[in-house]
Amino acid sequence: MPTIHQISSEHLEISTIGDIIFQQQKIELSASAIEKIKKCRVYLNERMQAQDDPIYGINTGFGSLYNVKISRDKLTELQENLVMSHACGIGERVPNEIVKLMLLLKVQSLSYGHSGVQLDTVQRLVDFYNNDIFPVVYTQGSLGASGDLAPLAHLSLPLIGKGEVEFEGKVVEAEVILKKFGWEPMILQSKEGLALLNGTQFMSAYGVHLILKSYKLSYLADLIGSISLDAFDGRIEPFDELVHLVRPHKGQLKTAERVREFLDGSELITQEKAHVQDPYSFRCMPQVHGATKDTLEYVLKVFMTEINSVTDNPNIFIGDDKIISGGNFHGQPLALALDFLKIAMAELGNISERRIFQLVSGLRGLPTFLVDNPGLNSGFMIPQYTAASIVSANKQLATPASVDSIVSSNGQEDHVSMGANAATQAYTLINNVERILAIELLNASQAIHFRKPLKSSPFIESFLKMYLLDVHFIKQDVVLHDSIITTLQFIDVFCIENDLLFD
């Protein structure tokens, strides 16, 4: 039976999220979360009965329509209209693994008791999560400012029996799923539609997913870079701890330490060298890979703060008897962090492609394009082209989205973060980095074969032995697309089996 994670006010760590995802844990509301949700809803109901003054989004219109007062008998219609009218996303579908994270993070944010939602509404989101019911959400439509309005509207539509969901691999109308489980459509009360749509869970879900993946790729970049260094007959001296203690950036120290560990016991790295220095793509791995590690640490801090926060509007403070309309839905912290993540991860791909280029260039005793009989065989000529193409695409994707802002809602929402665009760009970019690293591993494995009978370290030899079970040494031209795809599958399995997701 899967273990159960209780949603509470306890700080949600990245490792906990990783456990929830990869152990396929179910979730449930803790007793304290249930109490907070109920108390906040009771307070809001009593407050609405006791006063007739307009409270933004509760008995008024939205955005630039904030001055339009709505009568009490229209409040449910107001909230449902909000969800329907804002469900205007377009483009590609958001992957199910990110939709599931959106559900988890929306439940987490609503559980703090500052949003005024019904307990039943939050419980229905929990039910969707636990039964792998994935609302169909689209990648385009959010400005990342008044929350992720369009994506969260699509996430919320199935609650009221509208929109589509994917269940057991099929996309069906939401009302079909509600009937299957014996659920009635939710009747949204005052504030609920706004609580569901305001929030940063689209950006946050992408960010969490990409942070987990980026830590994996950071480890792989160090490992694959170390294999390339050995295959290129590189020098170990630039990784000496003394060099990095006099410029002690944390990520730089960590990278150098890893490379030393990966290459410990290598016959290749300790043999006498004919050259005094290596190209920067090898020699400066600690400085370049390390800077990405330091960026990841910053990005992680931003997202851990965000997912443990209340990001809808207005916020309800029972103890202070206040309902305050603020701006916690604005995605600027996330937009900047996602843009920084894009730049940092793009550089891992950039330097990896340079190592690929060096390996196929016929230098240091390696055959041109890493194949016997070059000319008859093109060998590894074109995988470098592929890597270069991806690197170029990443340079365009890495352009910051957060430097843009377009006025919306008749000027009421006059500055937006564009963090949702940064999120989807980062998703494409980081998947691209994985492909570049796979191409480097393919090249490095091929190159190190030509160094026999000398061996690399026991660790690398063991790693390559596993890899060569899936991707064999190439003696003459083959369809290298297949080898790249198999390499991608290998490194995914390797990271999961060796618990490298948080290293």
- CATH assignment at residue 146: 1.10.275.10
Tell whether 291 and 324 lie within a shared domain.
yes
Q: Say if 115 falls within a structural domain.
A: yes
From the list 235, 478, 472, 488, the residue with the least C-alpha distance to 379 is 478
User: Phi and psi of 159, rounded to 5°?
Assistant: -60, -35
Q: Say if 503 falls within a structural domain.
A: no
Tell whether 439 and 366 lie within a shared domain.
yes
Tell whether 39 and 150 lie within a shared domain.
yes
Catalytic choice (43, 56, 219, 467): 56
pLDDT at 147: 86
From the list 150, 144, 160, the residue with the least C-alpha distance to 192 is 160
Q: Write the pLDDT tens digit of every residue in 178-202.
A: 999 999 999 999 889 999 999 999 9
- The region of weakest confidence among 52-61, 400-409, 482-491 is 52-61
Q: Say if 402 falls within a structural domain.
A: yes
Q: What is the dihedral of CA 139, 141, 144, 146, to 10 degrees?
A: -140
Q: Which range of residues forms the domain containing residue 92? A: 4-199
Q: Say if 502 falls within a structural domain.
A: no
pLDDT at 500: 63
Which residue, 178, 199, 220, sits at the end of a domain? 199
Contacts of 375 (CB under 8 A, 6+ apart): none
Which residue, 173, 199, 225, sits at the end of a domain? 199
56 is a catalytic site residue: yes
Query: Which CATH number do you get for residue 243?
Result: 1.20.200.10
Q: Which two tokens stand for residue 163?
A: 């929109």
What pTM value is reported for the model? 0.95
Q: Write the pLDDT tens digit of every residue in 258-300.
A: 999 999 999 999 999 999 999 999 999 999 999 999 999 999 9
Q: Which two tokens stand for residue 220?
A: 């792989």
From the list 503, 501, 497, 494, the residue with the least C-alpha distance to 460 is 494
Q: Write the pLDDT tens digit of every residue in 414-457.
A: 899 999 999 999 999 999 999 999 999 999 999 999 999 999 99
Tell whether 247 and 170 lie within a shared domain.
no
Tell whether 416 and 448 lie within a shared domain.
yes
Tell whether 169 and 226 lie within a shared domain.
no
Q: For strand 26-29 and strand 90-93, is the pairing parallel, antiparallel, or unpaired?
A: unpaired
Residue with tokens 């490095």: 444
Tell whether 211 and 86 lie within a shared domain.
no
Q: Chain-wide mean pLDDT for the chain?
A: 94
pLDDT at 146: 82
Q: Say if 354 falls within a structural domain.
A: yes
Res 204 pLDDT > 80: yes
CB 291 within 8 A of CB 252: yes
Which residue, 152, 173, 199, sits at the end of a domain? 199
How many domains does the chain contain in total? 2
Q: Say if 225 falls within a structural domain.
A: yes
Tell whether 179 and 246 lie within a shared domain.
no
- Would you mind telling me the total number of residues written for the chain in this entry? 503
pLDDT at 108: 97
From the list 389, 391, 398, 382, the residue with the least C-alpha distance to 484 is 382
Q: Write the pLDDT tens digit of every residue in 64-119.
A: 565 667 677 777 888 899 899 999 999 999 999 999 999 999 999 999 999 999 99
Tell whether 301 and 194 lie within a shared domain.
no
Q: Which two tokens stand for residue 437?
A: 């690293």
Q: Write the pLDDT tens digit of every residue in 215-267.
A: 999 999 999 999 999 999 999 999 999 999 999 999 999 999 999 999 999 99
CB 151 within 8 A of CB 89: yes
Residue with tokens 């480890």: 219
pLDDT at 479: 95
Tell whether 111 and 168 lie within a shared domain.
yes
Tell whether 258 and 151 lie within a shared domain.
no
Tell whether 160 and 282 lie within a shared domain.
no
Q: Dump the DSSP string for 146-165.
A: SBSHHHHHHHHGGGGT-SEE
Q: Say if 310 falls within a structural domain.
A: yes
